[in-house]
Structure 1
Amino acid sequence: MYIIFTQREMFILAKQTSIKARILRMCIISVVVVVTVLLTAIVTMIYRAYDASYQDQANSLAAAYCQMFRNNIENLQLNIKSVQARTDVLDETIPLKERKAKLADLASTSIMKDFSVAYGDGTTYNNTDLTQREYFQTAMKGSYAISAPVVRLTDNSITTMLAGPVYTYNGKQYVIYGSIDTLYFSNGLDTSSMTEGSNIIVMDKHGQIVAASDTNLVMALANYTSEENKKYNSLAAEILSKDEGIYKYKLDGVEYISAYKTVPDTDGWKIAVNENYSGVKKSILVDILVILGISLVVVAIGVVIVLKVSNKIVKPVIKNTKRLRLLSEGDVTTPFVNDSPRDETYILSESMVNTVETLKTYINDIRDVLSALAAGDLTVTSTLEYKGDFIEIGKSLNQICSALKSEMSEIKNGISSMKEGAKQVAAGSQALSQTAIEEAQAVSDISETVSKINEQADNTAKVSEKVSELTLKTNENAKSGGELMAELLAAVQNIREKSNAIGNIIKTISDIAFQTNILSLNASIEAARAGEAGKGFSVVASEVSALAAKSQLAVENTEALINDSLSAVNNGTDIANRASAEMTSIVEDISRVAEEIARINAAAIEQKDSITLINENMSKIESVMQSTTATAEESAASGEQLSSMSENLASTVEKYVTE
């Protein structure tokens, strides 16, 4: 038998883990967790113990070296005091050379390299000036002073200077000072008891190395606050900022733990014991590896024990699991033998035997009932007594049989009614189809008529639009004629005004002719008086008189013509005014006609739109009627098919036994 699993079932199977594996995993995890916790606690304690031990060691060394430095400084101060007690080295009655010799003798019997004397103004027996030296400035304030290594003024050698407090002798101020070996303090710094790579340094308040286990730093005048030694800046800042403390730092990949303290009787000197912490971590790592090896052995032993115990527990469970897997695949016939030991697994296996047998009985009963139903026997019922949650299954099985029997009886009774109804549906659908065809034809005729009306309305709208355009054009022409009449009236009025002006001019000419005639008459009289001498003048006067008479005659004729022209102009003006009034009336009438035609055109367009809408609606009605006709025809066919199906259903139902 082949079993087909769904994708989800395959995913579940792939994700399954055996009980044995889970027990083993749980035990291993528990052991690992316990071992890890213990290992972590042990490692932490070891680390803290090593850390505290090395901190204490570094701190103790720093304290011891502080005390050593204090003793050395006190010893140096005693040497200065012994010289201060000798007045012969200050007695200026003694030659300077002898005084310097005495100082050399004193130095030969002390730990000092040499002694010298400085005056209060900074000058010395060696003809040098100490005013800029910090140790001299401190001595002038009344305190002992010791310097960091400096370049000596006398021979440019590197040395450490010591000065006693200023004192007065014979009214003058003196400072006894001297030099000591530059490596005097460094020689006592021993790192043999420390881890490899550890070191000890002493720096002044400015960061300069005063003493160190690495004497090269001293001779090089190294300063840990300078840019040149930038990698030491953070260490110097930490040490110089506090009187004492513990500081962890990393330098060139190596971790250090530094214990630092302030050296007594100095101007801010700090001693720092720098323990190589990487070596400490190596020791811790070795211890951790040993503990880890032991832990792995413990874990391995635990795994072996867990495997033996889990096999005894898991074997019966695996057997039950396999039988359940067969049961989930529908196998209720394969027998299951309970051979488990007398414990909880025995109860589990016995329950499996009962489960398989019970399910087998229920499934056989359900199969018998369903087989009878499949054969058409609706009178069958289940007689088996179901238990527990299966009681509802037994009830449901009998209810299904009873319901099928009842429903099938009702179906038989209703089939005859359905057959008659199917025939009536077929007949009604046929009648509906015929009526729909006739209505569709009537709608088609109406639609054709509406289309013709729509075409006529379209033509009417086009003609109305053309008439409207002609009317508008005529209205514009009439307005242009009215404007021309107005211009004509203005021209006639202008002629009238000009004619009046000409009349005035003619009158002036007439006056001139009259005056000329009087002048000629006076000239004739004067010529007559003159006698023979005025004969020529008399002839001229006669000619002027004749010319004046002609001018008067011409003026009278012109005046008559102008009067006639004015009369004609007045008459023309009246006619033009009447024509202008008539033209204005024509323009108004044409405007009213244009408005009426525009309204007619708008009504024609609206009528056309309404007819178009009617035509569209008629098309829709026609489409609906066609669809109705098709539906009616389909209903008729469906009615016939339903009638045929009811016949077939009746013959099928007769096969089932209900009594």
Structure 2
Amino acid sequence: MLKKLKLAPKLALTIGSVLTVILVILIAITISLSKAAISTATYGELMAISKYNSMQIQSILDEAETVVADMQSYLQRAYDSAKTADKAQVTVPTDPAAIALCQSQIYNAVLNPITYDIELYLRETARTGAISSQDIVGIGVMFEPYKFQSNIRDYSFYASETIGDGKIPSLGTYQSYSALDDYQLAMTSKIPSVTSPYEYNGDQIVSYASPIVYNNEIWGVISADIRIRNFDRIDTTSETYPSMYATIFDSSGLVIYDSDPTAGSGQTLADFTPDTEELSAMLSMMKQSEAFQIETTREDGRKVTRFFTPLKAADKTWWSLTAVETEDINESIVVTTFWMVALAALALVLIIFTIILLLRRVLGPVDGIVSAARDIAAGKLNVQLQVSSEDEIGVLSRTFMEMTQTLNRIVTDMKYILEEMASGNFAIKTRAEESYVGEFEGVLLSIRKMNRRLSSALSQINASADQVTAGSEQMSSGAQALSQGATEQAASVEELAATVAAILDQVQQTAQNAAEARDKSNEAGEETQVCNEQMKSMISAMDEIGKKSSEIGKIIKTIEDIAFQTNILALNAAVEAARAGAAGKGFAVVADEVRNLASKSAEASKNTSTLIQGAVTAVEKGTQIANDTAESLVKVVESTQTVSGIVDRIAEAAAEQSASIGQVNLGMEQISSVVQTNSATAEESAASSEELSSQAQILKGLVGQFKLRETNGVQDSYAPRAQEVRMDPVMMADDKY
């Protein structure tokens, strides 16, 4: 598609594509940087709002803490002074005038002077704090039994923001006020604490409760109540971020305040974060007590970015949360990206439009050059270009026109020269030599070279034709003589071939006989080898007989020893029988028979031993003879193998002779065939020579039709071959043809 476009649209498209890629890259980089910058600014702004809200809540808690701390500080000083005060200051007065001065305003009881001063300070400080502070709705003071004064069991009061100058009421008996949440929290924790939200007189409040500790003993509790509705002063809405809302959580994630009025009380952070991994991540970061931000998914599936800022609530850490839907944060990025892309696209369109106009204006004359080039490619050299500009395109057009004119002159001149040469006129000269410049000069020189070489070649062909005529006549005479000699040679070769065939039959018979002798020799060698193996087996058996005979000799020796011992025992028995007298006669007879048997056994053993020794000697002689026979068989086997090898070589030599004679026979047949072919060829050569002489005369007539160049005043067509002069065209500078 791109190859078919013209130059101006192609350049415009190419430049536009490059600019588009560059702009896309720049826009991507700008968007990325802008997104990072906008995100940083947005996150910074929202984190600042979260910190501002945290400071607002912190100021409310600090105010309650300050009031409670001032009252506690006063009690510490008062109790310390009571230790060093005189007895009258810590004794309940009995004088009516003094009783009137020390009458309690809370309970119908008489106080000692120091306790009265304590009540006065606590009562008025609580009144002032509740009335003057817009955040504190009431301050309560509650004491453990008999701790405010040793003769007063129950003592407490609560100064609300509406008390004005009226009488501050008590909170009833100890059983009543000790059951309050703030009282129990302070007594249990034994440190200042903030309660969870609870309802009081129709309002949701939290209480800053601090125990009254003196000498490591809790004497009571001072509590400042804060209306949660006062937290509305924090930033909870924004025109830039319509979805923004604010929430205050305690350290356990319980919602203290939520700017969304539909949020129910008692909810926790987990109620707004169904994803357990996100909840775990938030709780983990909250443990570090540092500000952080995190993107989470609400229970309704919306993506929300939350900004957490810690604040101190007595001994606990509360969290100020400012949350905005991620879509609101990304909206400014999307708007910025849209306008950047729109402006870039508009700029790109304007740039491409301007480039197209400029290219069409500048490259307009190129169309004329392209049209002229197409005419030249089609063989039309009479082209005209009208260009008046002096820039590179104008120079290109004029140069192209000059090239076309030069090419036209050269083509016309070459046409004239080639037409003359085609007509047989090789004495032609160029009529536009001045146009052959640069590489074209080589074309002219090549034409000259071709002209001279063709002219010279035709002259040589003319001379050669004469020589071919004379030579062909001689060849015809020689070919006839060769044919006659080849016929006689063929007869002799056939006789020799018959003799070689007879020799071949005899050699083949000899080779066959040698092969049969080799087979018989091999069979004899194999049989001799079998005899040799059997002789070895016999020698081994005779050796075994000799060994067994030796073992029998040993047994005979043992029998002789037994007979000898038996004889001795019989003698001993005879001696004992003689000693026994008549009683031993029967035993003496037995002993005599035993001695006789022993003697016969010994004699038989000697005879057997003699026979066995003779057998062993015979076996040894047989073994020696067998060994000699085996050696003779080995020599026979070796001689047989030698004979077999000689016969093999004779058979191989006979086979080789047979093959060689077969080759000789084949060669003789080929020689016979070649001789016969030579005879036929000689006859054909004689005929061809006569035909060649005729064709040489015809060729001489054809060459006479050309007008050849003259060399040194003599025409080439009549110059003898020995007088030819070869001239290089580049050396013929004065030759204008």
Give the match for residue 194 of structure 2.
Answer: 146
Residue 233 of structure 1 and its aligned partner are, at CA, apart by 4.0
Residue 609 of structure 1 and its aligned partner are, at CA, apart by 3.1
Q: Does 1:61 align with 2:108?
A: no
User: Contact 2:238–2:244 (CA<8 Å) still a contact in 1?
Assistant: no
User: Of residues 339, 357, 365 in structure 1, which corresponds to 2:386?
Assistant: 339
CA deviation vs aligned residue, 1:443-486 (integer Å, no higher than 9, x gap)? 65554443222101111112223333454566677778889999
User: Contact 2:183–2:221 (CA<8 Å) still a contact in 1?
Assistant: no
Give the match's secondary structure for 1:271.
Answer: strand
Give the match for residue 325 of structure 1.
Answer: 374
Q: Does 1:168 align with 2:214?
A: yes
User: Of residues 637, 640, 648 in structure 2, which corresponds to 1:597?
Assistant: 640
Give the match for residue 80 of structure 1.
Answer: 68
The residue identity in structure 2 corresponding to 1:387 is V
* TM-score between the two structures when normalised by the length of structure 2: 0.59
Give the match's secondary structure for 2:323.
Answer: strand
Q: Does 1:397 align with 2:447?
A: yes
User: Contact 1:382–1:397 (CA<8 Å) still a contact in 2?
Assistant: no
Residue 21 of structure 1 and its aligned partner are, at CA, apart by 0.9
User: Of residues 400, 410, 418 in structure 2, which corresponds to 1:370?
Assistant: 418
Aligned in 2, Cα 1:440/1:418: closer, same or farther, shift over 3 Å? farther
User: Contact 2:204–2:228 (CA<8 Å) still a contact in 1?
Assistant: yes
User: Of residues 272, 290, 297 in structure 2, which corresponds to 1:243?
Assistant: 290
User: Contact 1:235–1:249 (CA<8 Å) still a contact in 2?
Assistant: no
Aligned in 2, Cα 1:248/1:388: closer, same or farther, shift over 3 Å? farther
CA distance in 1, matches of 2:17, 2:538: 118
Moved more, 460-469 or 68-77: 460-469
CA deviation vs aligned residue, 1:36-71 (integer Å, no higher than 9, x gap)? 688668867875775465345424423432331122
CA deviation vs aligned residue, 1:581-638 (integer Å, no higher than 9, x gap)? 7777666545533432232123222332343344445556666676777778778888
User: Contact 1:203–1:209 (CA<8 Å) still a contact in 2?
Assistant: yes
| C-alpha RMSD of matched pairs (Å) | 6.0
> After superposition, where does 1:352-371 map in structure 2 within 5 Å?
352-371=400-419
User: Contact 2:9–2:356 (CA<8 Å) still a contact in 1?
Assistant: no
User: Contact 1:139–1:175 (CA<8 Å) still a contact in 2?
Assistant: no
Give the match for residue 526 of structure 1.
Answer: none
Give the match for residue 567 of structure 2.
Answer: none
Residue 191 of structure 1 and its aligned partner are, at CA, apart by 1.8
CA deviation vs aligned residue, 1:99-137 (integer Å, no higher than 9, x gap)? 35x24x558759xxx9999x9xxx99535899996x767
Give the match's secondary structure for 1:268.
Answer: strand
Give the match for residue 351 of structure 1.
Answer: 399
Give the match for residue 507 of structure 2.
Answer: 450
User: Contact 2:182–2:209 (CA<8 Å) still a contact in 1?
Assistant: no
Give the match's secondary structure for 2:53.
Answer: helix
Give the match's secondary structure for 2:222.
Answer: strand
Aligned in 2, Cα 1:650/1:264: closer, same or farther, shift over 3 Å? farther
Moved more, 293-302 or 307-316: 293-302
Aligned in 2, Cα 1:240/1:218: closer, same or farther, shift over 3 Å? farther
CA distance in 2, matches of 1:264, 1:476: 116
Give the match for residue 99 of structure 1.
Answer: 155
> After superposition, where does 1:442-591 map in structure 2 within 5 Å?
446-472=503-529, 588-591=631-634
Give the match's secondary structure for 1:316.
Answer: helix
CA deviation vs aligned residue, 1:243-301 (integer Å, no higher than 9, x gap)? 346x4636468665555433256543332323334224334434554565555555555
User: Contact 1:482–1:583 (CA<8 Å) still a contact in 2?
Assistant: yes
Moved more, 627-636 or 274-283: 627-636
User: Of residues 650, 653, 656 in structure 2, which corresponds to 1:607?
Assistant: 650
Residue 72 of structure 1 and its aligned partner are, at CA, apart by 0.9
CA distance in 1, matches of 2:170, 2:480: 149
User: Contact 1:62–1:271 (CA<8 Å) still a contact in 2?
Assistant: yes
Aligned in 2, Cα 1:70/1:227: closer, same or farther, shift over 3 Å? closer
The residue identity in structure 2 corresponding to 1:15 is K
Give the match for residue 270 of structure 1.
Answer: 319
Aligned in 2, Cα 1:58/1:623: closer, same or farther, shift over 3 Å? farther
CA distance in 2, matches of 1:289, 1:594: 111
Give the match for residue 202 of structure 1.
Answer: 248
CA deviation vs aligned residue, 1:312-360 (integer Å, no higher than 9, x gap)? 434421122122123234x134x32323444444544433333223212
User: Contact 1:115–1:179 (CA<8 Å) still a contact in 2?
Assistant: no
The residue identity in structure 1 corresponding to 2:516 is N
CA deviation vs aligned residue, 1:489-518 (integer Å, no higher than 9, x gap)? 9999999x99xx9xxx9xxxxxxxxxxxxx
> After superposition, where does 1:99-138 map in structure 2 within 5 Å?
99-100=155-156, 102-103=157-158, 109=163, 126=178
Give the match's secondary structure for 2:155.
Answer: helix
The residue identity in structure 2 corresponding to 1:396 is S
The residue identity in structure 2 corresponding to 1:65 is N
CA distance in 1, matches of 2:649, 2:513: 13
Aligned in 2, Cα 1:63/1:587: closer, same or farther, shift over 3 Å? closer
The residue identity in structure 2 corresponding to 1:219 is S
* TM-score between the two structures when normalised by the length of structure 1: 0.65
CA distance in 2, matches of 1:390, 1:405: 23
Give the match's secondary structure for 2:512.
Answer: helix
The residue identity in structure 1 corresponding to 2:209 is A
User: Contact 2:296–2:306 (CA<8 Å) still a contact in 1?
Assistant: no
Aligned in 2, Cα 1:442/1:182: closer, same or farther, shift over 3 Å? farther
Moved more, 378-387 or 297-306: 297-306
- Structure 2, gaps ≥5 residues long: 73-120, 124-140, 564-599, 709-715, 717-737
The residue identity in structure 2 corresponding to 1:467 is A
CA distance in 1, matches of 2:637, 2:256: 123
Give the match's secondary structure for 2:362.
Answer: helix
> After superposition, where does 1:229-240 map in structure 2 within 5 Å?
229-230=275-276, 231-238=278-285
Residue 146 of structure 1 and its aligned partner are, at CA, apart by 2.6
Residue 73 of structure 1 and its aligned partner are, at CA, apart by 0.8
Give the match for residue 518 of structure 1.
Answer: none
Q: Kindly, what percent of the aligned residue pairs are identical?
A: 13
CA distance in 2, matches of 1:132, 1:351: 109
User: Contact 1:54–1:275 (CA<8 Å) still a contact in 2?
Assistant: no
Give the match for residue 365 of structure 2.
Answer: 316
